[in-house]
């Protein structure tokens, strides 16, 4: 009878220690408080009382980095938020070397993001987000290596500017567009002046050419009765009259 009770107790003891580790998990096992190995996926035995274990999810995690009030290198206040993608590369280090690695990664990313934003100017932050994100990812990944954490990427989601700065940027963009419009218009005037000068030279070489051109213009205007026609006397006529008067 005693042997039967012992057998049943042993069986129950072993069954109580059976653990299933899933494919996307790793189990960190401790024997009498000492690290004794990492359990891979499958059915594993953990002896109660003498051994404990902790599950570690090794899938990629996306952590939202809360909005951070940052000051750029050119002393402009901006509000920046981001998302960081990371995974556990070494389950034993993630459990032994750091407490609550999820929280630690979030805090590290926030601090690093503020520091990096403070090293760049606003124009660079807005136009080269990928470069800033890569710099943050590089620093966070290096700092988290002792924790058994691998940072895959960091993406800046949004950069919020003060209302006054938005108005200034809007005025700057408007001035830039006006500048380009004036340049394009002036280039067109230069091209038109060159063509008109060339046409005037051709007309001046032939007697009566300007008069014929004037008559052609009047013919074009006569097709629309709503136009007001002003008859322009060619300079050749005026010069001819002037010469007759002198004689």
pTM above 0.75, yes or no: no
- What are the CA-CA distances from residue 12 to residues 82, 132, 171 (Å)? 50, 57, 77
Walk along the chain (247 residues) and give the pLDDT tens digit of each residue.
677 778 777 778 777 888 888 999 999 999 988 999 899 999 888 888 888 899 999 999 988 888 888 888 888 888 888 899 999 999 999 999 998 888 999 899 989 998 898 888 888 888 888 888 899 999 999 999 999 999 998 888 888 877 776 676 777 777 778 888 888 888 888 888 888 778 777 767 766 666 667 667 766 666 666 666 666 666 666 676 677 666 6
Q: Give residue 29's pLDDT.
A: 92
Q: Give residue 87's pLDDT.
A: 93
């Amino acid at each position: 009878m005693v042997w039967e009770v012992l057998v049943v107790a042993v069986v129950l003891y072993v069954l109580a220690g059976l653990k299933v580790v899933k494919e996307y998990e790793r189990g960190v096992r401790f024997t009498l408080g000492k690290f004794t190995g990492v359990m891979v996926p499958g059915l594993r035995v953990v002896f109660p009382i003498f051994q404990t274990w902790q599950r570690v999810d090794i899938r990629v995690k996306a952590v939202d980095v809360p909005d951070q009030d940052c000051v750029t290198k050119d002393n402009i206040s901006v509000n920046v938020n981001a998302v960081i993608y990371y995974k556990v590369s070494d389950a034993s280090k993630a459990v032994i070397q750091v407490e609550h690695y999820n929280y630690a990664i979030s805090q590290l990313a926030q601090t690093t993001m503020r520091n990096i934003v403070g090293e760049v100017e606003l124009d660079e932050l807005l136009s080269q987000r990928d470069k800033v994100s890569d710099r943050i990812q590089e620093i966070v990944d290096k700092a988290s290596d002792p924790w058994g954490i691998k940072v895959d990427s960091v993406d800046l989601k949004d950069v919020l500017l003060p209302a006054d700065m938005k108005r200034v940027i809007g005025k700057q963009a408007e001035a830039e567009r006006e500048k380009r419009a004036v340049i394009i218009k002036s280039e067109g005037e230069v091209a038109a002046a060159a063509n008109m000068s060339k046409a005037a030279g051709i007309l001046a070489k032939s007697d009566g050419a300007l008069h014929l051109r004037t008559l052609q213009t009047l013919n074009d205007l006569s097709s629309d009765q709503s136009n007001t026609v002003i008859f322009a006397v060619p300079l050749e006529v005026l010069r001819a009259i002037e010469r007759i008067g002198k004689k």
